[in-house]
Structure 1
Amino acid sequence: MNTEFKAGALVAFGGYAQAIVYGMLAFAPLGQAGLAYGIYAGLASAFLGGLLGALFGRAPVQFGGPRSSTALIVAGSLLGFLQITSNHSDLMLLLMLEIALAGLLIALAQQQGVGKLMQFLPAPVLIGMNTTLGLFSAYKLLPAMLGFAVYTTALQAASTPALFSPMALSVSAITVAVLLYFRAIRPNPLGLVYGLACGFALHGVLLWAWPGTLPVQTVAAMPNHPLWQNLDTTSLVGSVQQVSALLLGTPGLLLQVLVGAAVLALLVVLESMQSLLQVDQTLGTRHNTRRELNTLALANVLCGLALALPSSNYFSRSNAALGVGAQHRQSEAWYVGLLGLLLLLTWPILAQLPLHILATAVAVSSLFLIQGNTLDLIRRFAARSTRRKMAPTERFTVWVVLSMVFVTGISNLLIGTLVGVLFVAAYFLQQQSGSGLRSIESKPAARSRSMRPRAHRQQLDAAFEHLAWVRFEGNLFFGNAPAIAIRLQDELAPAQSAVLDFTHLRYIDDTACDCLERLFKQGLPRTQTVAVLPTHEQAMGGEPLLHSCLARLGIATQGHIDDAFWHIENLLLGQIAFDNMAYSADSTLENSHLCDHMSPAQKKAFCAHWLTKTLPAGQALFTEGAEPCGLYVLRQGQLSAWHHTGHSNERLMRFCPGSMVGEMALIDRKPRSATVRADTDCTLLFLPIAQFDQLQEYQPELSQILQNNLARELALRIRLANQSLALLQ
């Protein structure tokens, strides 16, 4: 079976149940009439969102449709509107305005770059939102799981025992058991289908075996457009005029509509960006944020005009499709087509569908929005002994979750969401003292402290035109990580390689690590990137998180900025950086530029004075303070110069083949200023001081050329030293 078709069928089956239940949940404040409105609004949202997504969207494995979050916001808006007017036409026009405005706000958010910010939304916001939505969606549908009529309150259940049905409880319990088995014990992307199929099969058997009418609640309504009965021009114009008067004459109503639209837009963008990013990380793709948000904006404007629920993509639908192998947007086209076919097939029995089974399946799915680590955080927060050991980000996450749940419980999800956003915004302002990012330097002048052949230096100069040096400092956490990630995404786009310097970072949290991971998974170069981590003496909070993040990305790490630049230079040079083939003595001296400006006869005479020496790896060529003995030129291998400082040794320079070593002592005849040791097995050419003195005495012209070349080499080393100083600033 085609995987895209299979994915579309799976999501359509679950989406059908979700559309009905979420629609009825949104319009529950209107009573029995709201059931018919809700079925229409939920199904219309699924059709419109899916159709426009399939036509205009390009990101793979996305599915438009209603969500419990937006359904609860719509229900809260209706409750607020009911305090002002009880006329259904007025209520529907206000709701139409709110949802259409949400679509326009999504388009405005796209223009202002909010989509980028949503890609890096802090973890406490996501965890608080998902936990609150999961709890209250399940809470609203809990009566159905316990055998009561859907949307029955606790007081109604206690005062009206007739609402309870043991048969509904039995069927719901079996459905829950099947759903939990395929979600928690033996995870299967088809678990929702199996659960619904089991519940419907049991309902069918009971219909056949039970004498009379089953004592269970059914949908008991057919889809009905909320304004269908008011299609004549006169009544509609009158309703529009009345709503306009209400907006202008009722204090706070316009603000209520605007706030509701803003929260709907926020939820749609947030949930859709989560879905887009999760699919990108799974498939290794990169979505076009602008195109996808514009598609969502158009879909929600049309949903508002059609009086459908807001439509958003959601990662639970995408996860189900990914689980069966979907990789393209074609699956959404199948989803829309099969959703229509499913509605057509069930239309004759739509009013008889068992509502408690649909609601039970949606409630269990909502509970799985709550992440397991959230419950663990709350458990640790509850105990004083473990609370003190929690990281600041973990404690703040618990505060956000508890505040959103509490405020939503005493008011509604709209107010709870606003409290969560304000809570995080206040924390952001409090923590702005730690900038997190020191600088982003493109085309840096800094180089590693190394002596390389001239051709290599020229190649590195060209490669460093596309290198970025990113230096972090202070605290990098969810309060500043989103803004920093957006800046890095923009400024590192032209870079082909990067050095990430964390040596001055004091603290990093999981949100910041997630932001870094998303950045590089969205296309920034990983193979030509190196990170510098603090030494053990420079303790950094959250360092294990950063280590794990860099390991998952495959980014190499170094413990010193000079080692990092040496590493990135070798990556940019490629194989020639490790080319250790032995050159002839003449070629080695020419590569060292000691023979520059010499005639062929002078070169021949000069080369005759040199001796060949070998040096095993780890052995010192000479030590700091030793008397000078002559000049060396590295023919093969690698050397390093070290200086003893206090209780440690500091690497001063690396020498590659063709490099001169020991020329300072040759000129001033003072003791060696550093220890030079072989990093690998080395072959060297050696000019003893006695031979150098003979050149000065018997071949003054050749000696003068040699001294000029040595002067140029010393000038070059001063320039390289100035470049290396940039690493220490």
Structure 2
Amino acid sequence: MVVKYCHVLHESKIRTTGNLYRIAFSCIQRTPDRGGYPPMRHLMIKGIRQTRLETARFDIGAACVGMLATLPQAVAYGLIAFYPLGPQWASFGISASIGSAILFGIISGMFGVNPFLVSGPRAVTALVLASAIQIAITRGSSAGDAIVIAFVAVLAAGIFQFVAGLLRLGNAASYIPAPVLSGFVNASALLVLINTLPTALGSLTPDITAIFEPDENSILFFAIAISLTTISFQFIAARTIRFVPAAIVGLVAGTAIYYIGVSIFPLANAPLIGAIEFSEIWRMPILIKTTPVWNELSPNIDIVITSALTIGLLSSFDTVISSRAIDARTARHSDVNAELRLHGLLNILMGFIGFLPGSGTMSRSVAILDAGARSRTANWASSLTLALSLLIFAPLVAALPIWATAGMVIAIAIQAIDQPTFIKLSKLVTGKFPYPRVIVGDVLISLFVVAIALLFNLASAVCVGVLVSVILFVLGMSKNPVRRTYLGSRIHAHRQRKVAIVECLEKEGHRIAVLELQGALFFGSCSRLRSTVSRCLETGIDYLILDFRHVTSIDSTGSEALRAIHQQCLDGGKHLFLSSIQPERRLSPNKQRSEPSSSSSPDQRDHRLKPRWIWLNLDANGVIKAVGKENFFAETDAALAHCEELLLRRFCDKPDRGIHRVFAKSLLLNGMTRDQITTLGHKAQRQRFKKGDLVFQQDDTCNRAYFLIYGRMDVVINVPGTGRQKRINTITEGTLFGEVALLDGAPRSATIVATTDALCLSLDGTDFAALRQDHQDIVTRLLLNLNRILASRLRQANMMISELEQ
């Protein structure tokens, strides 16, 4: 049982061996040794050791892939950074880049927050460093002075990153939309592919346009064959071979084909990685070794500042975005601010020693993930493997053809393309997606980000992508904020009223309108709200209710729109009411705030202490003062009931007072003679209730019906699982309630509470049975009238449901 459970855990791809240890030994402790089963613990430990070995095997293989992906890039970045100084500085540039890949990679891999974010030198920061050196050389600085200026800029960039991490500026990455992040991943993969493609085609220059030139040396078919062999074997191995990383298989296959070809046929020789002197990497720190030239910084401080800001911004941007993308792929959540602080300290160290600045890299991170990395060991081990390869396998590394390594990098770039976005795009092109409108916006934003990245750079692409997403969001939110509109003739307040009053409300209720608002009331949606209100008032509305139950936020423009609507209602003799806005009940800051009661639950205390931002915004912009607090209602039902009372005073008869007039106007006694009413009155029991009294509770067993002479009752139900109660209706004078229990004898479905002093007539099941035996004509008339009452309530409920479902 335990072994099977651990097998299930292993199949679920648990990455953390420590968790597996704890779960496994917990299972062992709970499983007593029984006779006949002594090998249980042995089998368990064996399974754990196998899992540990398997994790180590995957991590070592992924580290080798990471090393092979890092080496050619590090060589290229070193050549790029020190290109302005001439070929004599090539070995210095390569050692500075590889040193950064090793030292930066090991430390960030061991102590970084994101265990799968591989960090090291980047092409974009190498270009900025080359630009700083070029400007310094143009101004007349020597090579040594230019190098000092460049590495001081790297040190200052590290300080900038560290401060950004302390100020938690990395949290801004959480506001980057998913389509923009997908476009960043795809653009990174395409940029790596485009930059590597000329080398894979055998071009003598790194420019992609060179492959279209008629020069016979621009494209070598032998180079294409080597690159395609590497790519093909890498993809085949990814599907068939599990115990060896696919990138190594592809690289070995491409290298073997190359050496077989050049040894048998007179084919062109490929440029090789070449020998890299490990001793050149560990040198005296630049900023100590070249101390006498610090005086050169003063006239070139602008180069230091601009380069530092650029490198700091680009490095921070790459680190944060790459970490976020890796988190999305591995279902993790890393603290990007802690990552920024660590990278800032490391770049300070890189500038002091004289290594290239580092940042998080997507291509190398994806390489180790695709190779099966299980823990952070694969991360720092890839940099350690790079150092060991230069010490132990230097001849093998030096003999690797660039064409094969280019093919490996291209295969990794293709695998890094975001598959969900590619599938969505293919379905849109082929028309296989049934509702293309759902995904077309996300796909277009991703493609737009990719296009901007290819034309300009990744930083500009993400900034423009976020800007486009914000614009589309504002346009989407600027739709009509009115969720639904209904009239008082169709929807009534939760009050059980006499039939005559209900008929009056159905006749004159069109003068009441309720507008359910939704989303955010801001500058993009207020114009539509005012247009909808104007059209509504032109139809003869006298009482307007704005329901804020689904409103998420409001800005000053929204508050000004409400003030304008209120003034429009005043000018037209209309009345404006606002509902479902929680008032801010906290005391003013200069008064001592009362502590929450110890008997209150934590949720209730937290809810009470939360600021009610909509109310605060309305108060700050004078809306509450203009409209009047008396016109704010906690619930829309209460506002609707208030409007109905105002309407009834204008168009309906005055309310009946006295028991005789209530009986005379009651639908329950419709068609009865005076003698029948008198007989029924003798059977009924008169009951008085004070405000707050319970008439009956939910789930009580009772078969008594009540007729309310005067007063008001609330119908309350228990909300399951919350311990709270909710009012669902209000009973007014002249109405019948509790009649269902009289008919079927089932437990009460709700609680009735007297909200005012009230007088009721009640009839229980025993009296009703006696009445049915002695006065069948009265019971027949009662049942007929009761059916009419229930039919009227059902018709009204159906009307309200159909209206609310629109």
Q: TM-score band, normalised by the shorter chain?
A: 0.5 to 0.7
CA shift at 1:322, angstroms?
5.6
Q: Which of these residues, 660, 672, 688, is aligned with residue 737 of structure 2?
A: 672
AA aligned to 2:391 is: L
Match for residue 123 of structure 2? 71
AA aligned to 1:219 is: I
Separation in 2, partners of 1:213, 1:434: 61
AA aligned to 1:303 is: M
Match for residue 673 of structure 2? none
| Aligned residues of 1:53 and 1:296 also touching (Cα < 8 A) | yes
The alpha-carbon distance between structure 1 residues 126 and 73, as it changes in their structure 2 partners (threshold 3 A), is farther
Match for residue 129 of structure 1? 184
Match for residue 13 of structure 1? 64
Provide Cα deviations, 1:546-571, integer angstroms capped at 9, x if missing partner. Answer: xxxxxxxxxxxxxxx99xxxxxxxxx
The alpha-carbon distance between structure 1 residues 200 and 269, as it changes in their structure 2 partners (threshold 3 A), is same
Provide Cα deviations, 1:43-70, integer angstroms capped at 9, x if missing partner. Answer: 32332233213543355x3353336xx3
CA shift at 1:271, angstroms?
1.0
Correspondences of 1:155-170 after superposition (within 5 Å): 155=210, 158=213, 160-162=215-217, 164-170=219-225
CA shift at 1:303, angstroms?
2.8
Separation in 1, partners of 2:296, 2:267: 45
AA aligned to 1:57 is: G
| Aligned residues of 1:148 and 1:157 also touching (Cα < 8 A) | no
Match for residue 354 of structure 1? 401
Match for residue 108 of structure 1? 163
Q: Secondary structure at the match of 1:151?
A: coil
Match for residue 762 of structure 2? 689
Match for residue 519 of structure 2? 473
Separation in 2, partners of 1:15, 1:4: 16
| Aligned residues of 2:176 and 2:466 also touching (Cα < 8 A) | no
| Aligned residues of 1:636 and 1:684 also touching (Cα < 8 A) | yes
Paired-residue identity, %: 16
The alpha-carbon distance between structure 1 residues 216 and 237, as it changes in their structure 2 partners (threshold 3 A), is same
Separation in 1, partners of 2:113, 2:311: 29
Match for residue 338 of structure 1? 385
Separation in 2, partners of 1:655, 1:268: 49
Q: Which of these residues, 270, 285, 299, is aligned with residue 216 of structure 1?
A: 270
Separation in 2, partners of 1:332, 1:364: 20
Separation in 2, partners of 1:13, 1:368: 17
| Aligned residues of 2:189 and 2:414 also touching (Cα < 8 A) | yes
Separation in 2, partners of 1:310, 1:317: 16
The alpha-carbon distance between structure 1 residues 351 and 79, as it changes in their structure 2 partners (threshold 3 A), is farther
The alpha-carbon distance between structure 1 residues 185 and 37, as it changes in their structure 2 partners (threshold 3 A), is farther
Residue 295 (structure 2) pairs with residue 241 (structure 1): yes
Provide Cα deviations, 1:257-279, integer angstroms capped at 9, x if missing partner. Answer: 42233122211222123324543
Separation in 2, partners of 1:65, 1:159: 39
CA shift at 1:676, angstroms?
9.2
Higher Cα Rg: structure 1 or 2?
2
Match for residue 116 of structure 2? 62
Q: Which of these residues, 348, 364, 383, is aligned with residue 301 of structure 1?
A: 348
Match for residue 261 of structure 1? 312
AA aligned to 1:71 is: A
Q: Which of these residues, 401, 405, 429, is aligned with residue 450 of structure 2?
A: 401
Match for residue 194 of structure 1? 249
Match for residue 702 of structure 1? none
TM-score (norm 2): 0.49
| Aligned residues of 1:303 and 1:310 also touching (Cα < 8 A) | yes
Provide Cα deviations, 1:223-253, integer angstroms capped at 9, x if missing partner. Answer: 58999999899982454433542334x7xx7
Separation in 2, partners of 1:287, 1:40: 32
Match for residue 108 of structure 2? 53
Match for residue 76 of structure 2? 25
Match for residue 500 of structure 2? none
Determine which structure has greater relative contact order: mean sequence separation of CA pairs < 8 Å that are 6+ residues apart, divided by chain length.
Answer: 1
| Aligned residues of 1:23 and 1:38 also touching (Cα < 8 A) | no
Q: Secondary structure at the match of 1:348?
A: helix
CA shift at 1:175, angstroms?
0.6
| Aligned residues of 1:127 and 1:397 also touching (Cα < 8 A) | yes
The alpha-carbon distance between structure 1 residues 76 and 125, as it changes in their structure 2 partners (threshold 3 A), is farther
| Aligned residues of 1:95 and 1:307 also touching (Cα < 8 A) | no
CA shift at 1:119, angstroms?
3.6
Match for residue 544 of structure 1? none
AA aligned to 2:344 is: A
Q: Which of these residues, 131, 134, 137, is aligned with residue 82 of structure 1?
A: 134
Separation in 1, partners of 2:436, 2:765: 73
CA shift at 1:389, angstroms?
8.4
Q: Secondary structure at the match of 2:256?
A: helix
Match for residue 640 of structure 1? none
Residue 215 (structure 2) pairs with residue 173 (structure 1): no
Provide Cα deviations, 1:148-204, integer angstroms capped at 9, x if missing partner. Answer: 346255448836534654433322121121223356899999322221222233345
| Aligned residues of 2:445 and 2:465 also touching (Cα < 8 A) | no
Separation in 2, partners of 1:346, 1:692: 99
Provide Cα deviations, 1:690-716, integer angstroms capped at 9, x if missing partner. Answer: 46999xxxxxxxxxxxxxxxxxxxxxx
AA aligned to 1:82 is: Q
The alpha-carbon distance between structure 1 residues 3 and 430, as it changes in their structure 2 partners (threshold 3 A), is same
May I ask how many residue pairs the two structures share in their alignment? 492
AA aligned to 2:310 is: V
CA shift at 1:256, angstroms?
4.4
| Aligned residues of 1:634 and 1:660 also touching (Cα < 8 A) | no
Runs of 5+ in structure 1 lacking a partner? 439-448, 450-470, 477-500, 507-527, 529-560, 563-623, 638-650, 695-727
The alpha-carbon distance between structure 1 residues 169 and 333, as it changes in their structure 2 partners (threshold 3 A), is closer
CA shift at 1:218, angstroms?
0.8
Residue 42 (structure 2) pairs with residue 2 (structure 1): no
Separation in 2, partners of 1:100, 1:675: 82
The alpha-carbon distance between structure 1 residues 152 and 320, as it changes in their structure 2 partners (threshold 3 A), is closer
Separation in 1, partners of 2:764, 2:726: 16
| Aligned residues of 1:216 and 1:354 also touching (Cα < 8 A) | yes
AA aligned to 2:404 is: I
| Aligned residues of 2:272 and 2:399 also touching (Cα < 8 A) | yes
Match for residue 595 of structure 2? none
CA shift at 1:118, angstroms?
1.8
CA shift at 1:21, angstroms?
1.9
Match for residue 570 of structure 1? none
Q: Secondary structure at the match of 1:66?
A: strand
Separation in 2, partners of 1:105, 1:28: 26
| Aligned residues of 1:174 and 1:199 also touching (Cα < 8 A) | yes
Separation in 2, partners of 1:311, 1:681: 79
Residue 189 (structure 2) pairs with residue 140 (structure 1): no
Separation in 2, partners of 1:36, 1:625: 103
Correspondences of 1:507-518 after superposition (within 5 Å): none
Provide Cα deviations, 1:510-541, integer angstroms capped at 9, x if missing partner. Answer: xxxxxxxxxxxxxxxxxx9xxxxxxxxxxxxx
CA shift at 1:372, angstroms?
4.4
Q: Secondary structure at the match of 1:2?
A: helix
Separation in 2, partners of 1:681, 1:90: 99
Separation in 2, partners of 1:112, 1:662: 50
Residue 460 (structure 2) pairs with residue 424 (structure 1): no
Superposed CA RMSD in Å reads: 5.5
